[in-house]
Structure 1
Amino acid sequence: MPVHFPYLPVRSAAVTSHDSSRPRISRRSAVTAAAAAAAVLPLATGAATARADGSGPAFAHGVASGDPLPDGILLWTRVTPEPGAEPGSGRGAQIDVSWEVAEDQAFGRVVARGTVRASAASDHTVKADVRGLRPATDYFFRFTAGGTQSPAGRTRTAPAHDAAAAAVRFGVVSCANWEAGYFSAYRHLAARRDLDAVLHLGDYIYEYGTGAYPKAKYTVRAHSPAHEITTLADYRTRHGHYKTDADLQALHQAHPVIAIWDDHEFANDAWAGGAENHTDGAEGDWARRVAAAKQAYFEWMPVRPSIEGTTYRRLRFGSLADLHLLDLRSFRSEQASVGSGEVDDPDRTMTGRAQLDWLKAGLAASDAKWRLVGTSVMITPVAFGSVPAHLLGPLAELLGLPKEGLAINVDQWDGYTDDRRELLAHLTQRGIDNTVFLTGDIHMAWANDVPVKAATYPLSASAATEFVVTSVTSDNIDDLLHVAPDTLSSVAEVAIKAANRHVKWLDMDGHGYGVLDVTAERTQMDYFTVSDKTDPDAASAWARSYRTRSGTQRVERVDQPVR
């Protein structure tokens, strides 16, 4: 299946002198007034062109920043050194690329600069890991190569590690299938001036060939390359194609992005030894395909690999929040069969032992007010027919049935219940509170309590909460059935909530993004939807808001978004 539905068959010394802070403006004006945003940030969206004779370098794929630290930021761009040196081509001479970081948009107060070399070995992508900057500060950056200057970007550093930040605010997105629609959600996030960063929870690209998902008759715009990507050149070309999108360029130009991967950065339903959408032999060796996909990802994304070949890492935003970012594809066991007791097998893993121990240790050691966990697939149990273990648990085990009820989406944590039980037990036994999971993957929006024992909730404890954002464009249920919204989803939503009382809300129809606002008192997710993913000029509207108040481990509805 191409989509998971649980309910359907370089460093630099920088000049530093004073502290600064940035005002937060009205959410309404930030979201709706694109013209005003353009006035605030008059940075050219799109490519800087080559010289008039067409022989010079060009920055056709925009600029980006990511992984903010209190004293630094990672800068990224891709230079086309000469005509024909396209992504994945292997063509083009090496070229020096200069970068600079300034306190002002006019670059009158440059605080850091340097030079890196782009070559075909890295697909002419470059990164500069800039340090020596001031915490919680807006900066502007740009690149120059061969007399051509890139568009300028804006970025922001994180608060100092021990700073008692009043609030941090993140845009939250996932699942952007090029062929399924336009990236209007990115455009609306780019227009905001109140975000510290944007968290991308996976499926930044999709691997399919044109007309595979969605089918050709429903394709909004075609992938490049047209075939399914399997080689290093393929993945590079696909990443490069994505970064020609004006809305995606605008997002990267306006905010630092913190990204993790999910399966479609490789192939659908990926696990450590293969994927549902991979055929050994016909599509080459899986290990070679994964290595190619990871190389292209780290070339094309503004991400620091904490451990070579993985994206799990940890960022801190003052004493307010630690952000633990997971890699749930590189180490997991193969997905179990739906309806089988294999989901409870303790020898099967979602995280791998080393990553789970790293996460548990980080959560226990954190002295931040909030422990945010970026996870690409949903941890909340969603099952039908779960019963108290002391009643039918032994019978379920004897019959080889799942102990926690019939979980339909075994690609989620529901398919790896031993890892989940261990993690949730760790939270409750160690008294670790204010843990919030932030999730993408399933093209729906959810607000959930995460119970230790779903069958006896709400009598049993809730160990954490979870906010799941819907897709930017990727199809959900009614999209796949090509019926009007709420045709099937409204019935399914009622059934899911009835069988899973810890699920407080879900929207199976919308596409859009979330905005997460964190204060000492609460963490709140505001959910926004776009009017029509097939319309490049789609409007954005607030849909719902849910929050977790400190110390409660429960979600509750809020009547309005944070202003």
Structure 2
Amino acid sequence: MSAFSRREFLATLSALGIAPSAFAIGRDGQLPTEGVGPSFLHGVASGDPLHDRVILWTRLTPKKLEDHLQVKWRIATDHHLKNVVRSGLFSTDITRDFTVKVDAIGLEPDTMYYYQFETRGAQSPLGRTRTLPVDHRRHWRMAFASCSNYPYGYFNAYGRMAARNDIDMVLHLGDYLYEYPQGGYANPLLVGLRDVVPTNEILTLTDYRLRHALYKTDPDLQELHRLYPFICVWDDHESANDAWRDGAENHNPENGEGEWIVRRRNAVRAYNEYMPIRSTNDADDEIYRHFRIGDLGDLIMLDTRLHGRDLQAAFKTGQSELPVSDPTISDGTRTLLGFDQEEWLNRQLWESKQRGTTWRVLGQQVMMAQLSSTFGQTIINPDQWDGYAPARARLFTHLRDNNIKNNVVLTGDIHSSWCADLTLNPWDSSGYNPQTGAGVLGAEFVCPAVTSPGPVPGAAGDVLAAQLRFVSPHLKYINLNRRGYGVLDLTHEAATCEIYHVATVDAKSDQETLASVMVSEVGNNLVRGEGQKTPRL
């Protein structure tokens, strides 16, 4: 092998979870196959739980690429796997990159289960998962995270979530992985320690599969997947930066990157193969869906990225900061979700209210609250809901006119922590009161990135956060430079958001701090610090 191809080969082994020392390269440049059996080097995962079923996932590292493997799976109510309630076989091969995905049905609601895979004498790690409640539930806790950039740091936030024993599931709100080439968006302190595979920007199906496989070798992410069911949506970096329905900022056909539709299809297929998401087939790109947590909450997961998003205003104008009066921003024919998803969302919200469910929780990608440095005269980031203001107004008007209360929005994307009141116009004192909650339609909690750097580092970020709080009465908490995760605690009395910040991502660490606790009470979505009571409206 040449020096370059050997390095590529070793990096690929790393992505596949294989120690380079496990192989001796023959004089013909081929890998030996004798004595090397299949193994489960990418861990196990579960996801998309319902009251009677859950997705179980793993990936095999095969003995030979030509293998066709029959994988046994079983799920039980005890960690010794004595009381097996469901089992079966799943066939996998190179056509799905040796991934395994089973929808284990016929389970009991609100129950913890344990599961395992086996093939040719090799056993996977023991996984743990749980189903959703179907009737009354007093309490439910979910961790939520986003923006986990492998070469930018260690996944300490995942490690801290995995160490908890007080959560029921994990929401991943997008940017589970990043598409950039080696060194393209990376921490210079970790060169050689957190390198990516492949080393090029990912474009092909093989590229996306290898990048997913690399991420699944991280021990902290593996442990979190092993212990808790995930509910996931993609954002842009699972395909390409600032993606929209028909393209992306980081997709350049003129530079030989091909058609967007092909790249998007590759990204979607690899995502469906490698993530524990309930998809009808590997080409399924309709990921907006809902989950019922008994009578306590309806979790509604949205796709603000690939399904229906129109081209961002910044791409049309060439400006990243725009006046709210800009004709593209104010164009009511533009949509972030797609009009079909808007209609579906409105129906989900209305039906949730009719059922008497206490909370409606939207899991989505980009910040919904208004963000301006000039008392609402300009917008800072037209990639988020600010850039599709009429679409946001349609949603808020639906909530107001139908008296749909107790709404919580969970968001990722922006590499920073925010807690905000959601209201039609936060700068209109006649329609919104940040002290009483008049005019508040929902609460938004934005989690920090797992590793990706914040938009403004250090003291400068603290100064900007204070300035934004001064001009924006609806923004109740901001931190622009720390990494970590969030936890949402739901009861029939309140929704409480805890923001946790990890000490560092430059090295392995188990240190974290509880940075903020914000509460939204039933009957009044106003966001306040813990312990502060609000009037019922």
Q: Give the TM interval when normalised to the shorter protein.
A: 0.7 to 0.9
Distance 2:85 2:148 in 1: 35
Matches within 5 A, 1:294-305: 294-305=268-279
- Unpaired runs of 5+ residues, structure 2, are 1-16, 24-32, 315-320, 533-537
Instruction: Report the CA distance shift for 1:436/1:130 in structure 2 as closer, same or farther (over 3 A).
Output: same
Matches within 5 A, 1:408-419: 408-419=380-391
Q: How many residues align?
A: 482
Distance 1:305 1:61 in 2: 20
Distance 2:50 2:246 in 1: 34
Instruction: Report the CA distance shift for 1:344/1:352 in structure 2 as closer, same or farther (over 3 A).
Output: same
Distance 1:114 1:376 in 2: 35
* Corresponding residue to 2:285 among 289, 304, 309: 309
1:341 partner SS: coil
Letter in 1 for 2:446: V
- Shift in Å, 1:477: 2.9
1:179 partner SS: helix
Corresponding residue for residue 343 of structure 2: 357
Distance 2:66 2:499 in 1: 44
Give a deviation string over 1:474-522, Cα, whole Å, max 9, x none.
011345xxxxx2x201110111111111001111121111111100000
- Shift in Å, 1:541: 2.0
1:155 aligns with 2:129: yes
Distance 1:99 1:416 in 2: 45
Letter in 2 for 1:500: S
Distance 2:388 2:377 in 1: 13
1:379 aligns with 2:363: no
Letter in 2 for 1:287: I
Contact 1:140 1:152 in 2 (8 A): yes
Instruction: Report the CA distance shift for 1:54/1:488 in structure 2 as closer, same or farther (over 3 A).
Output: farther
Contact 2:151 2:196 in 1 (8 A): yes
Letter in 2 for 1:342: T
Letter in 2 for 1:76: W
Distance 1:455 1:306 in 2: 44
Matches within 5 A, 1:36-185: 54-82=35-63, 91-160=65-134, 163-185=135-157
- Shift in Å, 1:283: 0.9
TM-score by length of 2: 0.87
Instruction: Report the CA distance shift for 1:195/1:239 in structure 2 as closer, same or farther (over 3 A).
Output: same
Distance 1:205 1:169 in 2: 25
Instruction: Report the CA distance shift for 1:520/1:441 in structure 2 as closer, same or farther (over 3 A).
Output: same
Contact 1:335 1:410 in 2 (8 A): yes
Contact 1:69 1:157 in 2 (8 A): yes
Give a deviation string over 1:328-357, Cα, whole Å, max 9, x none.
111101110331331111121100000010
Contact 1:448 1:467 in 2 (8 A): yes
* Corresponding residue to 2:404 among 432, 435, 445: 432
Contact 2:160 2:510 in 1 (8 A): no
Contact 1:47 1:58 in 2 (8 A): no
- Shift in Å, 1:235: 0.3
* Corresponding residue to 1:463 among 441, 461, 464: 441
- Shift in Å, 1:210: 1.1
1:323 aligns with 2:299: yes
Contact 2:132 2:294 in 1 (8 A): yes
* Corresponding residue to 2:251 among 278, 282, 285: 278
Contact 2:153 2:190 in 1 (8 A): no
Contact 1:448 1:502 in 2 (8 A): yes
Letter in 2 for 1:285: E
Corresponding residue for residue 3 of structure 2: none
Worse-matched range after superposition: 288-297 or 272-281: 272-281
Letter in 2 for 1:360: N
1:546 aligns with 2:518: yes
Aligned-pair identity in percent equals: 41
Instruction: Report the CA distance shift for 1:92/1:184 in structure 2 as closer, same or farther (over 3 A).
Output: farther
Contact 1:305 1:313 in 2 (8 A): no
1:428 partner SS: helix
- Shift in Å, 1:453: 1.3
Contact 2:152 2:187 in 1 (8 A): no
Contact 1:47 1:151 in 2 (8 A): no
Distance 1:369 1:376 in 2: 23
Distance 1:279 1:104 in 2: 51
2:378 partner SS: coil
- Shift in Å, 1:53: 6.6
Worse-matched range after superposition: 177-186 or 448-457: 448-457
Letter in 1 for 2:402: R
2:441 partner SS: strand
Distance 2:96 2:297 in 1: 34
- Shift in Å, 1:405: 2.1
- Shift in Å, 1:194: 2.0
Contact 1:47 1:62 in 2 (8 A): no
Letter in 2 for 1:375: Q
Matches within 5 A, 1:183-222: 183-214=155-186, 216=188, 219=191, 221-222=194-195
2:329 partner SS: helix
* Corresponding residue to 2:311 among 334, 352, 357: 334
Contact 1:47 1:150 in 2 (8 A): no
Distance 1:461 1:121 in 2: 53
Contact 1:70 1:159 in 2 (8 A): yes
- Shift in Å, 1:70: 0.7
TM-score by length of 1: 0.83
Give a deviation string over 1:288-327, Cα, whole Å, max 9, x none.
0000000000000000137931210001110100000001
Corresponding residue for residue 30 of structure 2: none
Contact 2:202 2:208 in 1 (8 A): yes
Instruction: Report the CA distance shift for 1:115/1:431 in structure 2 as closer, same or farther (over 3 A).
Output: same
Distance 1:197 1:217 in 2: 33
Distance 1:452 1:364 in 2: 19
- Shift in Å, 1:384: 3.2
Contact 1:174 1:201 in 2 (8 A): yes
Distance 1:422 1:47 in 2: 51
Contact 2:116 2:124 in 1 (8 A): yes
Q: RMSD between aligned alpha carbons? A: 2.0
Letter in 2 for 1:233: T
Distance 1:539 1:385 in 2: 37
Distance 2:402 2:531 in 1: 33
Contact 1:208 1:227 in 2 (8 A): yes
Corresponding residue for residue 6 of structure 2: none
